[in-house]
Structure 1
């Protein structure tokens, strides 16, 4: 425990600590403003009261910091990882349902199955502005839990719908309620873990274990006795939907909103958790929308790199999520074998994310280099598939497994966005654009896999090949750009006559990465 004599006088700290000068014309905050005033008008970061205590002399003890990190890793990380896995599993449920006769039962023709996959992302796309608003103005834990219950009920309904139109409508609303999950978890990652820790933790929660569990669960359901009047695919939706609703109810009571209100941290541990995030210089959450930050996000070239990379990488995601079982069955395997053979691909994908996350955690300045390097593995796999159309199915299946690490660059991109974007409004606006691009890529991807080209899908495989090549080049180029930005910041600091103070109040003053001279980009 920290020495009580070193603990701050909270009342004095709150009265006297000042926020450094910054550009706040739009929120009406003067260059120096009392923290109590900020908090009372809800124009400040949610961590400002704790920041005042940190600046008044609170000492962060190493043993307390280790305990806090372990608590966050062993309590929060499993909760958000399982939630993300459920979201992925439910999202691609139509892939496995199609393997059990969904298209035939609902009389789908032509591109109708592709539309049923893409309509989810149309909903995801149109709802992003609302998600950004919710993430800035409402508790994150409650937002996720309530939406989880809602999409679980929608998924349950898909097990009983009897026509294509009804199924597509339910898929749209499923996408609407699932739209909050990934952006909200990305924001939670930025307010719970340090920048050095975020890549590995993002790899854990944005995982591909759903690809393993999806195949396992689908295989198990394939063994069930189907009662008269039911189709096998209906059991899949009923099972998934019921579990998701129950998980959402549990999340409502146990998923914390932020370190400020975490039920599993005492006051000293909350101070330590906030001191850890102070090092990020990205702040936590400011409930006030800052128009100047929104404009900065739109003008920032980094935003448009994030957007373009998200679109290119998710062309692949949309394609493989919708057609992975079709690709494997096209090698000459039965539906039940296809379900089992899809599982190793998920193993490769999950292990790749964790391995790259570990490498990034123990090295510095190599994130984008790893992103460029790991994409060479699926590039080789898809090249083999493209070159050996109609070749030995064992070779083609192995080549397909090599595409498993395809989503590692996008997962690492999410961590890079969290680490390199400061200012709450700028973060939510940037995130909104990125998730819109995510949707656009997932919408477009399945349409390159033409039913007329089954089972080889030459056009679709060619688009995936081009995407991998472009991702490699973009990663290397962005690394050079971020180095240049850091050099410019260093030059500006050397030339400046006065410098911003290194305080908790400064770190939580809701400055953007561009405004904060102490901020350095990680690459």
Structure 2
């Protein structure tokens, strides 16, 4: 609701870099908390301390975060109008507090909804495994528990850098070439992940440094996921429909994260052959899904151009809370 569709990938990327910095900071906090000598095990202190920080920040966000540009208290009435007016080209409207039943039904009929669910699950099954077993994999290289925790710091920083490079390169090429580049950059930033997982599978266990770098390469899936989020935000209009679509995406996200750890069998430690193969399989399948989805959206735009011609009278449709199916002026981004 705050940014144009061209700006959304960069803004989502800037927000999502906190995932990388959180992993880095978590590594440092984990190392410090690991030295606490108290009545509780160190992992319990970690949950208490980080949980308290998250809860406190949640309260601050609840109080301070504006609902929408229409009623943002930090903006003057004129600035609110400017903030809303600049979104006219999005053709996605702004927040609408009313639940519209027909938009729920339309979301359930829209193939894109199930694409985002499947993509959320396929993309995050590897995440569920590597995020839960990553430190165990590193420890299998021969490092102590505390050193393993510290080695998460460069992993988190690399994730943040990969996200920033992905969203800014996508923004640069989509602007300078006037072409649709999001799906291409999703695929590009899946390649290091695929290379890293193949390395974890086939590089011998004694080559600790090479395997460590292969593990670090698996962080690139975070950059690809940022653009997947931007696809969901940018390709769904109608507030209720957007809420339902996002719910399906994050339902898939949760399903993938739940399923991922089940591929890591304790008897396969420290190589986790099945777990690594599950990552390779998921990312190769994801390659095909993203290519298919790009072709689908491109075909939909072509069909709309044939049926409706160029966008006309965009002022009448910009803020009507119309869905992307209802709005003849809506064009998909891919």
Question: TM-score if structure 1 supplies the norm length?
Answer: 0.61
Shift of 1:249: 2.9
User: Bigger radius of gyration, 1 or 2?
Assistant: 1
Q: Which residue of 2 aligns with 1:304?
A: 114
Q: Which residue of 1 aligns with 2:317?
A: 506
Per the alignment, do residues 288 and 206 of structure 1 end up closer, same or farther by CA in structure 2, a change over 3 Å counting?
A: same
Give SS of 2:252's match: helix
Q: Which residue of 2 aligns with 1:340?
A: 150
**Segments of 4+ moved more than 3 angstroms:** none
Partner residue of 1:463 out of 272, 278, 281: 278
Partner residue of 1:421 out of 216, 229, 236: 236
Q: Which residue of 2 aligns with 1:99?
A: none
Shift of 1:389: 4.3
Per the alignment, do residues 519 and 436 of structure 1 end up closer, same or farther by CA in structure 2, a change over 3 Å counting?
A: same
Shift of 1:359: 1.2
Q: Which residue of 2 aligns with 1:452?
A: 267
Q: Any conservation in 2 of the 1:322–1:446 contact (CA below 8 Å)?
A: yes
Q: Distance in 1 between matches of 2:327 and 2:55?
A: 43
Q: Distance in 2 between matches of 1:469 and 1:219?
A: 35
Partner residue of 2:190 out of 352, 375, 382: 375
Unaligned runs of 5+ in 2: 175-179
Shift of 1:341: 0.8
Partner residue of 2:138 out of 313, 316, 328: 328
Partner residue of 1:384 out of 199, 206, 225: 199
Query: For residues 168-317 of structure 1, what are the structure 2 equivalents within 5 Å?
Result: 191-207=1-17, 208-224=20-36, 226-227=37-38, 229-317=39-127
Instruction: Please list the CA deviations of residues 400-428 of structure 1 after superposition, one character each: whole Å capped at 9, or x if unmatched.
Output: 11111022222211111100100111111
Q: Any conservation in 2 of the 1:222–1:336 contact (CA below 8 Å)?
A: yes
1:361 aligns with 2:171: yes
Partner residue of 2:295 out of 459, 480, 499: 480
Shift of 1:500: 5.8
Instruction: Please list the CA deviations of residues 257-298 of structure 1 after superposition, one character each: whole Å capped at 9, or x if unmatched.
Output: 111121221111100100122211111122222222222211
Q: Distance in 2 between matches of 1:515 and 1:253?
A: 35
Shift of 1:222: 2.3
Bigger mean CA deviation after superposition, 302-311 or 237-246: 237-246
Unaligned runs of 5+ in 1: 1-190
Shift of 1:472: 2.1
Query: For residues 83-102 of structure 1, what are the structure 2 equivalents within 5 Å?
Result: none
Q: Which residue of 1 aligns with 2:332?
A: 521
Question: TM-score if structure 2 supplies the norm length?
Answer: 0.94
Give SS of 2:86's match: helix
Give SS of 1:421's match: coil
Q: Any conservation in 2 of the 1:194–1:280 contact (CA below 8 Å)?
A: yes
Shift of 1:241: 2.5
Q: Distance in 2 between matches of 1:231 and 1:271?
A: 54
Paired positions, count: 327
Q: Higher relative contact order at CA 8 Å, sep ≥6: structure 1 or structure 2?
A: 2
Q: Which residue of 2 aligns with 1:441?
A: 256
